[in-house]
Every structure is written in structure tokens, then in C-alpha cells.
Amino acid sequence: MAATLEDYRDVVGLDVIEELRIVAAHVKHRRLQNINSTSVGGGVAEILTRMVPLLRELGIEASWDVIRGDEAFFQVTKAFHNALHGRVEEITAQMLDHYRATTASNLAQLNLDGDVILVHDPQPAGLILRKREIGRHWIWRCHIDVSTPDPRVWNFLKPYIEEYDAAIFSTPGFAQHLSVPQYMVTPSIDPLSEKNKELEERFIEEVLLKYHLDPDRPLITQISRFDRLKDPLGVIAAYRIARKRYPCQLLLAGGGASDDPEGEIVLREVQEQAASDPDIHVLLLPPFSDLEINALVRASTIVMQKSIKEGFGLTVSEALWKKKPVIGGAVGGIRLQIIDGVTGFLVHSSEGAGQRALQLLADPDMARRMGEDGHQHVKQNFLLTRHVKDYVLVMMALEHPDEDVVHLE
Ligand code: UDP
């Protein structure tokens, strides 16, 4: 069941809720249409599932549409995704044509009825072509790490992006040379969702039993789609370092996303690497395994997010919220969440991750302190209520394009 604003009061305090109501009143009844490329799997779907009901409760007519595409389209957009993250990909003229053709067919099918149209990530970015005809306010929301994008893909997308009224990035490090205003909005987690709410110990124990995990030995966990940019093999290498001194277990749990066609191949690579060690558990979770993921993180001693590139990495905040120290790649949005040495450790290699894991396993007191600090850091910066307020403020800013300061009457 969707949480109500009132439910968040106990978590974030009355002031935050009151302020949210006050700012939201200024954009009441506006239709905010979100458009992305998958309804399940990955961080964007995770956020929208929780955010849309809350926006509606605030009087904003939020909606969410998903574009359609065939397998070839999602292969093209996955190649874009990888190339924007700096990987070398072959991008052919035929692929660009397929992107354009899929954009055209979505434009023919989608009912673009928002006053503000919030388009998430590159897959649906081309929908902006309709703006010249229908007007409205259009925002391109980039969730990915574009700190070092492949210029061919970025230059293909840039003319689309510059038709928007504004672009939103997750950290200042992703800002681009664009002719349109850019806003920085960090993503968020929902403390009341099944993924993050408090759980009973008994349920956690049952989940451990179900997946044959030993409750009496340390558990290192990474929850991620099976994607090379999440570096699951690097996590295995780090675990092997820790394992030499501590009888720990490793859990790599993830599912697929309908817009990510590479998952199966990466999963197979991981399974091969893990096959020789019964203490490496590789779980392919079905969608909507939120309660179980919640339990698995709560049962963990250390959480890793050893990404090579990362737009934000909701999994980091999800773990910090549960008071787990997190070892994460020193990239993208992970750097905002892990304050090195305070809420976890930022690492640049598998060896580094392994050494930090050893350090945390040797010092449970330090691990506990980091977990506490991590929880506070998320509470202050990365909860859904702050995220909703930021979007409301961007909507207001777009309605006052010539004002540097918007005065609330
Ligand atoms: N997630 C999930 N099931 C999985 C793997 C991941 O529900 O099998 C969730 C994870 O808990 C997080 C989101 O999917 O909420 C992933 O978001 P993140 O920003 O970490 O990475 P993305 O997949 O968007 O690159």
C-alpha cells in the first residue's frame, strides 16, 4: 500500500512535511508526466513507483508512461548507455536510424498530455521532437554517469537535449556544456517502501535459511543488475582477499531490467567465476523481491557497490539506511553517498575493496559507527521527501524563466 505524507512525518519530522506542502501548493493541479523505458528493474523505475503516489497526494497530477521498443532498440540504447559511461561501443548509422524510427513510433502512440513532461534518460529523449507542435515544459532527467561520455553518442543526443527547457543531472560532476539550464537533483530512497522499511528478525532469518546463507558467518553483499559496469567480477576478487583471513560469505543478488539485454551474459560470467566456491551465492531474483532484498541487506555485514561508473547507485543509500557500512567504487553518485572513512570506504580497485573489507571485518565497532553515520547522512540528504521537493522547485523555476529568485507569495 502506498505510504501517505502523514506516514513520512515520523521519519523526517513535521517541518519537512509542512515545507513540502507549502512549495507543492504553488504547482498544484499541474500535470507532471514522467516517461521512461521500463516499469520494473533499475533505479528509475524504483524511484517512480514510490514518487508518483506522493506527488499525487500533494495535488500534482503525476503520471508515468513507458515507451515501447523491440529488442534491437534496447540493444541500441544499451550501447548508448555503455558509451555514455565511457565504454567503447560500435555505433552504426543503422543503429541511429533505429533509434529515430522507434522514437517516431512512440510519438505516434503516446498521449503527451503533461503540462510538464519529465523524460528520463536517453531511451525516450527523442520524444522532444513533439515540443515544437504542442509546447509545454519539457525536462530531460539524466540518471546516468555522463562524466566522460563517448562524444559520438553525446553529440547525437545533444541536439535533442538542447530542445528541452532544462536538464537535470545527479551530481555537479555530470554537468555538460548545454544551451539550456541545468539543475542538480540527487535521487532518493523511500524509507517506507518494502525495500527499506524495518523488518522483524524472524523474517530476516527465514530469508537467510531460504537462500542457504549461514547466519553465523560474516556476509558481504552486492545487490545489482548483472551489468559489467557494476563490476560483479571485481566484487568476487575483493571477497577472495577478505576470505583468506575471515570465513566470510559473498552474496551477489540481482535481477534483470526489461531495457537491459546484456544481463544474461554477465550473469553467466559471474556464475562461472563463482562455481568453485560454495560460499559465493549468486541469486537471480524475480522482480518485486523487495522484502527479500531488504532482509538480505539487513543480514549483511558489509555491502559493496563496486561500480566502475554510476549515476547514483540507489543500492548505496538503501544499505546506509539499514546502517550498513558500504564499500563503493569512487565514481559518480557513489561519491555523494559514501563519505570516505565516515559512512564507508571509496575504492579504486578490487584489491582496495578487499583490504577495506578486511579492515571492517576486523573492527565491528568501526563498522557499526559507519552504519550509524550512514543512516544520518541518508536521512538528511537522500530521502524521497527531499527529492519530491526538488522536482517541485524545478517545476516552479520553469514557470518563472526570467527570475533568478522566485518569491513565494
Ligand atoms: N534492485 C532490485 N532487484 C535486483 C537488483 C536491484 O530491486 O535484483 C533494485 C535496487 O535495490 C535499487 C535499484 O534496483 O533500488 C537499482 O538502482 P541503482 O541506482 O543502484 O542502479 P541501476 O540499476 O539503476 O543502474
How far does residue 290's CA lie from ligand 1's centre (Å)?
10
Residue 320's nearest CA partner among 362, 376, 358 is: 376
Phi, psi of 334 (to 5 degrees): -65, -35
From the CA of 230, give the closest atom in ligand 1.
25
| Spatial contact of 252 and 219, defined as CB atoms under 8 Å apart | no
Phi, psi of 60 (to 5 degrees): -95, 130
From the CA of 257, give the closest atom in ligand 1.
23
From the CA of 255, give the closest atom in ligand 1.
8
How far does residue 259's CA lie from ligand 1's centre (Å)?
13
Nearest-angstrom CA–CA distance, 285 and 36: 22
Count CB-CB contacts under 10 A for residue 198.
9
| 56, burial (CB in 10 Å: exposed 0-12, middle 13-18, buried 19+) | middle
Question: Ligand 1 atom 10: the closest Cα is on which residue?
Answer: 315
From the CA of 290, give the closest atom in ligand 1.
7
Gyration radius of the chain over CA positions: 21
Task: Give yes or no on whether 5-188+383-399 and 201-381 have one common fold.
Answer: yes
Domain boundaries, the chain: 5-188+383-399, 201-381
Question: Ligand 1 atom 25: the closest Cα is on which residue?
Answer: 42
From the CA of 41, give the closest atom in ligand 1.
14
Name residues contacting ligand 1 (CB within 6 A). 42-43, 46, 195, 223-225, 253-255, 285, 289, 293, 312-315, 318
How far does residue 37's CA lie from ligand 1's centre (Å)?
15
Grid coordinates representing 339 are 563519505
From the CA of 253, give the closest atom in ligand 1.
8
- What's the confidence (pLDDT) of residue 288? 87
Question: Ligand 1 atom 9: the closest Cα is on which residue?
Answer: 42
Ligand 1 pocket test target in 84, 141, 224, 320 with most atoms within 8 Å of CB: 224
> What is 177-204 written as a DSSP string?
--SS-EEE----B-TTSTTTS---HHHH
From the CA of 310, give the closest atom in ligand 1.
25
- What's the confidence (pLDDT) of residue 261? 84
- What's the confidence (pLDDT) of residue 149? 96
Ligand 1 pocket test target in 314, 322, 336 with most atoms within 8 Å of CB: 314
Residue 285's nearest CA partner among 313, 320, 254, 260 is: 254
Which SS3 state, helix, strand or coil, does residue 140 take? strand
- What's the confidence (pLDDT) of residue 1? 66
How far does residue 255's CA lie from ligand 1's centre (Å)?
8
CATH superfamily, domain 201-381, is Glycogen Phosphorylase B; (3.40.50.2000)
Please list the pLDDT of the chain residue by residue as tens digits (409 residues): 678 999 999 999 999 999 999 999 999 999 999 999 999 888 999 999 999 999 999 999 999 999 999 999 999 999 999 999 999 999 999 999 999 999 999 999 999 999 999 999 999 999 999 999 999 999 999 999 999 999 999 999 999 999 999 999 999 999 999 999 999 999 999 999 999 999 999 999 999 999 999 999 999 999 999 999 999 999 999 999 999 999 999 999 998 777 788 899 999 999 999 999 999 999 999 988 999 999 999 999 999 999 999 999 999 999 999 999 999 999 999 999 999 999 999 999 999 999 999 999 999 999 999 999 999 999 999 999 999 999 999 999 999 988 888 888 7
Q: What is the CATH number of domain 5-188+383-399?
A: 3.40.50.2000
Residue 60's nearest CA partner among 6, 9, 23 is: 23
| Long-range Cβ contacts of 349-352 (<8 Å, 24+ apart) | 349/234, 350/231, 350/234, 350/235, 350/237, 350/238, 350/241, 350/306, 351/237, 351/238, 351/241
How far does residue 45's CA lie from ligand 1's centre (Å)?
9
How far does residue 236's CA lie from ligand 1's centre (Å)?
19
